[in-house]
């Protein structure tokens, strides 16, 4: 009995502590949502606040976005661009990176250590240092101001390669020989036997890479030059200018920006955390 | 790519037929890693070499000339030191907060007695789903100078006067670190959790049998086995610290901050390259940043004993 009580108290304290942290994590988003259903005049009077004043609450900000008011004429262009870029990027990135990671894990070949070292090196060097030459290269390759300019330079990413390599190290090599005996090509073994076995890794990486692409800002803002080609983060950041007051659309637009990725996460949540754990990003 | 492969196969088909299969196998790995090789050559090495060359050039529209070390000499100006100082301070504070806090939270979340851990895990991770642009919009408003704004209302509870958060150097650094903690803690918790779950339970069970206490188990088992992931999180935090740009861009906007209190190294590259169109000097800042991050990472890897031979 005594033992049981001494176990209950700390666990209660722990839960209280985590409730505090969870509230702190969710509070800013709650404040944003609350502000998005109030007129911007409230925001200028009181700042971002969490007063529950039901009289002033309205969906007017969201209606403004849907009717293209207040600088939001292109909002749904941005939305479509973000969706297209994120989907294409994520699919390509997962396919190519898993291929490379798999190749590094399953085969012994000359230069394997060198290539893996290069993967690690690219992972440790901030890409931000090469944005100026990369910008000039995008002009030379005619991919400036297009979705390919956003996607191609970063679609073979070192982090997922590393992750898929770690994951593939745990795959049974016997299956490869079995596949060869059945007459599969090496690519066939990868696509038909190994890809299905790596599904948990794909689950985890889908969320991480989609998240990266959906939220990416610095490179897209450099590559995409015309308003109708912007992605959501660029468009939103542009609404925040010293010369115009677009807070209504800005806040409602921010909520609409979070929504798809939040749904994706809640839907795949279990898959996501388990996939990461199984793969074990062990450094 | 295909033609090359066929040519090689054709060439080798003159050999005894026995060798055909292994040859396909020998070639396959290179096909698998080809995407990385191409991307590395085109989108990494080429621009990197270009950046090094441009750092010794004056690159203005229609005017490119070698100017030796002039760009590097130009680095000796107050803006550069301000940017370097800001990025270094930011990296320092994020390391101080974003390693121990997520580590401890992850250990608790992994504890046997923890309830509703999936719920807490998800809630702590949700901020990481927000784009930094949106996070910046939120925290710009939270740290607004209005009396009714969240941060000012909060410190009023403790009897402090309203502050102009984003106009002071130290207060705005605080705001940036709060933003970073909110945005990144969930991801680091996840990294630590994934490593914790790969520690075999038997280790703790046998320690229990030896009568070890909670603290000594933490010190003797958990901490040493978390070393690899800690090194990884340390490295990406240094990387993220020196690469920080969007947070500052969102808090102060494209025109920059008063007295450059929010100017970062990447912000300085962006300013020189895309606002003053001085690609040469911009590249010089980039190469310097590369040297600094490599130096700091090497230093950290040495201190944490990454190069120490083990297992």
CB-based contact B125 A265, cutoff 8 Å: yes
- Are B9 and B36 members of one domain? yes
> A 176-235 residues with CB below 8 A of B?
180, 185-187, 190, 211, 214-215, 217-218, 222, 232-233
pLDDT digits (tens, 9 = 90+) for A24-74: 999 999 999 998 998 887 777 777 777 777 788 888 889 888 888 777 888
Of the residues A5, A31, A40, A133, the best mutation for testing chain B's interface (the one with the most B CB atoms within 10 Å of its CB) is A133
In chain A, where does the domain assigned CATH 1.10.3720.10 lie? Answer: 75-279
- A-B interface: how many C-beta pairs under 8 angstroms? 287
What's the pLDDT at B119?
Answer: 87
> B 56-115 residues with CB below 8 A of A?
105, 108-109, 111, 113-115
pLDDT digits (tens, 9 = 90+) for B189-199: 988 988 888 78
> A 38-57 residues with CB below 8 A of B?
43, 45-50
Please give the residue range of the domain that contains residue B8.
2-54
Of the residues B130, B149, B179, B249, the best mutation for testing chain A's interface (the one with the most A CB atoms within 10 Å of its CB) is B130
- The partner residue sitting opposite B286, judged by closest CB among A102, A130, A215, is A130
What's the pLDDT at A243?
Answer: 63
What's the pLDDT at B136?
Answer: 94
Q: In CATH, what number is assigned to the domain containing residue B245?
A: 1.10.3720.10
| In a domain? residue B271 | yes
A120 to chain B, any CB pair closer than 8 A? The answer is no
Distance CA(B226)–CA(A283), nearest Å, equals 10
| In a domain? residue B64 | no
CB-based contact A25 B127, cutoff 8 Å: yes
Do the Cβ atoms of B162 and B229 come closer than 8 Å?
no
- The partner residue sitting opposite A22, judged by closest CB among B113, B123, B266, is B123
| In a domain? residue B286 | yes
Percent of chain B, pLDDT > 90? Answer: 49
- Are B43 and B172 members of one domain? no
CB-based contact B130 A215, cutoff 8 Å: yes
| In a domain? residue B309 | no
- Are B42 and B163 members of one domain? no
What's the pLDDT at B19?
Answer: 43
- Are B271 and B165 members of one domain? yes
A244 to chain B, any CB pair closer than 8 A? The answer is no
| Residue numbers in B near A154 (CB within 8 A) | 43
CB-based contact A187 B28, cutoff 8 Å: yes
| In a domain? residue B65 | no
- The partner residue sitting opposite B50, judged by closest CB among A99, A133, A218, is A133
> Residue A231: what are its φ and ψ, rounded to 5°?
-95, 175
- Are B86 and B228 members of one domain? yes
| In a domain? residue B237 | yes
> Residue B72: what are its φ and ψ, rounded to 5°?
-70, -35
pLDDT along chain A (283 residues), means of 10: 52 89 94 89 77 82 85 89 96 96 93 93 88 94 95 94 88 86 88 89 86 93 94 90 74 92 83 64 39
Distance CA(A210)–CA(A218), nearest Å, equals 16
Distance CA(A24)–CA(B186), nearest Å, equals 12
pLDDT above 50: residue B79 = yes
CATH number of A75-279: 1.10.3720.10
pLDDT digits (tens, 9 = 90+) for B143-158: 988 888 888 888 888 9
| In a domain? residue B96 | yes
| Residue numbers in B near A122 (CB within 8 A) | 40, 44
| In a domain? residue B188 | yes
CA nearest A206: which of A151, A158, A273?
Answer: A273
- Are B163 and B37 members of one domain? no
- Overall size of chain A counted in residues: 283
- Distance between the two ends of chain A, CA-based, in angstroms? 43
CB-based contact A130 B21, cutoff 8 Å: no
DSSP assignment of chain B, as one string?
-HHHHHHHHHHHTTS-GGGHHHHHHHHHHHHHHHHHHHHHIIIIIHHHHHHHHHTTEEEETTEEEE-TTHHHHHT-SHHHHHHHHHHHHHHHHHHHHHTHHHHHHHHHHHSTT--SHHHHHHHHHGGGGS-HHHHHHHHHHHT-SSTTSHHHHHHHTTTPPP--GGGSHHHHHHHHHHHHHHHHHHHHHHHHHHHHTTS-HHHHHHHHHTT--HHHHIIIIIHHHTHHHHHHHHHHHHHHHHT--HHHHHHH-TT--GGGTT--HHHHHHIIIIIS--HHHHHHHHHHHHHHHHHHHHHHHHHTTTTS---
Higher pLDDT, B21 or A85: A85
What's the pLDDT at B16?
Answer: 44
Residue B217 C-alpha, separation from nearest chain A C-alpha, in angstroms: 17
- Are B108 and B188 members of one domain? yes
- The partner residue sitting opposite A15, judged by closest CB among B115, B132, B149, is B115
Nearest CA in chain B to A47: B149
* pTM (predicted TM-score): 0.88
Residue A109 C-alpha, separation from nearest chain B C-alpha, in angstroms: 7
* Domains of chain B: total: 2
pLDDT digits (tens, 9 = 90+) for B203-229: 888 888 888 888 888 888 888 888 888
- Are B249 and B183 members of one domain? yes
What's the pLDDT at B309?
Answer: 53
What is the rounded (10 degree) CA torsion for B304, B306, B307, B310?
110
Residue A153 C-alpha, separation from nearest chain B C-alpha, in angstroms: 5
- Are B249 and B174 members of one domain? yes
pLDDT digits (tens, 9 = 90+) for B239-261: 899 999 999 999 998 778 888 99
């Amino acid at each position: 009995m005594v033992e049981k009580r001494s176990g209950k108290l700390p666990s209660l304290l722990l839960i209280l502590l985590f409730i505090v942290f969870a509230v702190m994590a969710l509070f800013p988003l709650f404040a944003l949502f609350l502000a998005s259903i109030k007129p911007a005049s409230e925001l200028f009077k009181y700042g971002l606040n969490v007063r529950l004043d039901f009289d002033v609450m309205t969906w007017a900000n969201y209606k403004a976005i849907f009717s293209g008011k207040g600088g939001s004429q292109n909002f749904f262009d941005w939305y479509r661009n973000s969706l297209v870029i994120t989907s294409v990027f994520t699919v390509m990135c997962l396919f190519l990176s898993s291929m490379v990671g798999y190749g590094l894990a399953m085969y012994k070949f000359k230069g394997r250590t060198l290539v893996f070292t290069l993967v690690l090196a690219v992972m440790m060097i901030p890409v931000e240092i090469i944005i100026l030459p990369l910008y000039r290269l995008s002009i030379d390759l005619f991919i400036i101001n297009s979705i390919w300019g956003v996607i191609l330079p970063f679609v073979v990413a070192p982090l997922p390669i590393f992750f898929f390599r770690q994951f593939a190290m745990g795959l049974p090599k016997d299956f490869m020989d079995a596949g060869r005996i059945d007459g599969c090509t090496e690519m066939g073994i990868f696509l038909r036997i190994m890809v299905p076995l790596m599904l948990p890794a794909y689950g985890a990486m889908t969320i991480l890479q989609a998240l990266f692409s959906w939220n990416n800002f610095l490179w897209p803002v450099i590559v995409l030059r015309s308003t109708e080609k912007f992605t959501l983060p660029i468009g939103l950041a542009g609404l925040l200018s010293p010369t115009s007051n677009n807070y209504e659309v800005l806040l409602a637009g921010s909520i609409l920006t979070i929504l798809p990725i939040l749904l994706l996460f809640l839907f795949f949540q279990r898959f996501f955390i388990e996939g990461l754990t199984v793969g074990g990003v062990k450094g | 790519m295909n033609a090359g492969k066929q040519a090689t196969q054709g060439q080798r088909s003159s050999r005894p037929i026995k060798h055909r299969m292994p040859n396909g196998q020998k070639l396959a790995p290179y096909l698998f890693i080809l995407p990385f090789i191409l991307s590395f050559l085109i989108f990494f090495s080429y621009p990197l070499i270009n950046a090094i060359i441009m750092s010794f050039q004056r690159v203005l529209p229609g005017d490119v000339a070698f100017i030796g070390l002039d760009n590097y000499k130009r680095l000796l100006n107050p803006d550069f030191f301000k940017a370097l100082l800001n990025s270094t301070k930011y990296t320092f504070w994020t390391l101080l907060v974003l390693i121990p806090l997520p580590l401890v939270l992850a250990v608790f979340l992994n504890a046997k007695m923890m309830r509703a851990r999936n719920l807490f895990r998800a809630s702590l991770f949700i901020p990481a789903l927000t784009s930094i642009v949106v996070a910046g919009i939120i925290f710009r408003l939270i740290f607004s100078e209005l009396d009714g704004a969240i941060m000012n209302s909060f410190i009023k509870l403790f009897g402090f006067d309203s502050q102009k958060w984003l106009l002071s150097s130290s207060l705005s650094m605080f705001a940036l670190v709060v933003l970073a903690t909110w945005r990144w803690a969930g991801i680091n918790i996840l990294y630590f959790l994934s490593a914790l779950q790969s520690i075999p339970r038997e280790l703790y069970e046998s320690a229990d049998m030896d009568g070890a206490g909670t603290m000594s188990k933490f010190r003797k088992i958990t901490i040493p086995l978390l070393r690899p992931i800690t090194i990884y999180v340390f490295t990406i935090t240094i990387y993220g610290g020196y690469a920080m740009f969007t947070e500052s861009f969102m808090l102060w906007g494209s025109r920059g901050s008063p007295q450059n209190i929010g100017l970062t190294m990447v912000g300085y590259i962006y300013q020189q390259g895309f606002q003053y169109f001085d690609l040469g000097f911009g590249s010089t800042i980039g190469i310097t940043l590369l040297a600094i991050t490599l130096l700091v990472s090497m230093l950290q890897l040495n201190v944490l004993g990454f190069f120490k031979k083990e297992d």
